[in-house]
Structure 1
Amino acid sequence: MAALCGCSGPLSTLDPSGPSAASIALLWWVMLAGAGVLFALVLTLFLLVVLRPGWGSRLPSSRWIVLGGLALPAVILLPLICYGLLAGERLLPLPGHSPPRIEAVARQWVWTFRYPDRGNVATTNVLHLPAGTPVDIDVSSEDVIHAFWVPRLAGKIDAVPGQVNHLRIQADTPGRYEGQCNEFCGVGHARMHFVVIVDRPADYPAALAAAAATTKAEP
């Protein structure tokens, strides 16, 4: 019961609200199931040795190394690796399709979001997204290495000085989501979080304009 408490919450990867996050959550469950099967097989062999002394003694040690150390893990791990690679490929932006773009610029210990497709307006520590629409986030840094992560919407990607990394993100439903830097970046790292506001498509332009006006009014 205590472990299940970690499966929900604003920063839970197991409570997805977007296709990328759902793919990552499914990958986690598949990996957990594979690890459970492998653990059960190893535990079964261990119990057979303990409860039935002499069991398996007819097999030479080299055979045990090949079967138990190579063949048994390969039966589980190779399919998991293949599935993980396929799942990772599905998270990459598709070539030839250009959705709206937002620039996420990190610096100690603030996130600035610029919207080139919306007159290059900017918001601070608040990212606005339209619901049901894929958006490409161009992530960069002005000082040290940070990381952009909204667990319920997509995987994480590093913000590297002098380099722009791309992450496609999509939220299924309007609401408020939490994001954070999960790469240690200095003494203020714990405070480097941001809010993602997902608006209905019809409300998105007005909500973004209001947030940008608030950012301009701040000292």
Structure 2
Amino acid sequence: MDPSRSAGSGSQRLHDSPGRLRPPVHGPRLRRPREGGNIEWHRRATRGVACVVVSATACAGPQSALDPAGPAAGAIAQGWWLMATGALVAWLLVLALAALAMRRRRRLQPAAGRRLIVAGGVVLPASLLSALLVYGTLASDRITGAGPQAEHLVRVTARQWYWEFEYLDEDGGVVATSIDELAMPLGRMVEFHVDSQDVIHSFWIPRLGGKIDAIPGRRNVLRLRADRAGPIRGQCAEFCGLEHALMAFEVSVLEPGAYARWLEDRAGTDAGGAGR
């Protein structure tokens, strides 16, 4: 018997046998599942959670506008979250429409395309902007503090590179002064008269409200109220020179009685030349 013929017939018999599977002699090897796949997935998930946690902690702090301690800052933060949510919804809608357009095998009819352009390019932006306009109008009193009467008056003078605060009585007389330290009574509206002695600065306490420019020769008025005690920090928000980054001040929110004693302790203090 021919050996080669016998081997060929045996091979043919093995391949023709029902229920028998033979791995290929030649060809690509089967890939084994990579070991540690679950561990790598857990690592990526942990990193993602850590990024979310770190981003969330960035929304709080003594100088965070997203951690409001007063009605003005609360209205600003609420508006920011509304705009961020609207932007996220619009972004997801655009992605969904783009995915739908790539999956469609037939083109839109001209009439359907025009309706889509009108809805997405006219109706949607007009609706969002109108909603923001209505919200801004309704929240303007809280942001500017124009509604309630101010109970305290503080004159703020900006200089390179420090802040001088003069606490005034009802007649406009100076009761107390402080440098780079602002005291406010808890739950009371305070009116600030802001000006500058040299260049343009900007008075800003992010946790209490918006900012206002300090302009030489001009008095700008800002009203703020602190409803929560805690670490609060103010900052010059307009570049004003080499030490602009150091032009900051601490805000102490005190109970009314403690605030009165604080003013008494600083009565008659000479603030001249006390800056940097």
TM-score normalised according to structure 1 size? 0.89
Larger deviation, residues 86-95 vs 128-137 = 86-95
The reply to whether residue 37 of structure 1 matches residue 89 of structure 2 is yes
The question of whether the paired residues in 2 share the 8 Å contact of 1:38 and 1:76 is answered with no
Report the 3-state secondary structure (helix = DSSP H, G, I; strand = E; otherwise coil) of the residue aligned with 2:87: helix
Larger deviation, residues 118-127 vs 14-23 = 118-127
Report the 3-state secondary structure (helix = DSSP H, G, I; strand = E; otherwise coil) of the residue aligned with 1:185: coil
Distance 1:105 1:47, change over 3 A: same
Q: Equivalent residue for 1:128?
A: 183
The question of whether the paired residues in 1 share the 8 Å contact of 2:72 and 2:144 is answered with no
Deviations 1:128-176 (A, max 9, x none): 1111101011111111111111111111111111111111111113334
Distance 1:168 1:127, change over 3 A: same
Q: Equivalent residue for 1:206?
A: 261
Once the two structures are TM-superposed, the CA of residue 93 in structure 1 deviates from its matched residue by: 3.5
Once the two structures are TM-superposed, the CA of residue 64 in structure 1 deviates from its matched residue by: 4.4
Distance 1:96 1:133, change over 3 A: closer
Distance 1:217 1:187, change over 3 A: closer
TM-score normalised according to structure 2 size? 0.72
Q: CA–CA distance in 1 between the matches of 2:115 and 2:230?
A: 57
Once the two structures are TM-superposed, the CA of residue 210 in structure 1 deviates from its matched residue by: 2.5
Q: CA–CA distance in 2 between the matches of 1:62 and 1:8?
A: 45
If you compute each CA radius of gyration, which structure gives the higher value, 1 or 2? 2
Deviations 1:171-207 (A, max 9, x none): 1133341000011111110010011111110111211
Q: CA–CA distance in 1 between the matches of 2:87 and 2:55?
A: 17
What percentage of aligned pairs have identical amino acids? 43
Once the two structures are TM-superposed, the CA of residue 41 in structure 1 deviates from its matched residue by: 2.0
The reply to whether residue 59 of structure 1 matches residue 111 of structure 2 is yes
Q: CA–CA distance in 2 between the matches of 1:96 and 1:173?
A: 18
Aligned length: 219
The question of whether the paired residues in 1 share the 8 Å contact of 2:231 and 2:252 is answered with yes
The 5 A counterparts of 1:5-154 are 5-59=57-111, 63-94=115-146, 97-117=149-169, 119-120=173-174, 121-154=176-209
Structure 2: gaps (5+ residues): 1-51
Distance 1:180 1:197, change over 3 A: same
Once the two structures are TM-superposed, the CA of residue 78 in structure 1 deviates from its matched residue by: 1.8
Larger deviation, residues 12-21 vs 62-71 = 62-71
Q: Say what the alpha-carbon RMSD is for the aligned residues.
A: 2.4
Deviations 1:45-87 (A, max 9, x none): 1111112143534437655443322222222222122212322
Distance 1:61 1:132, change over 3 A: same
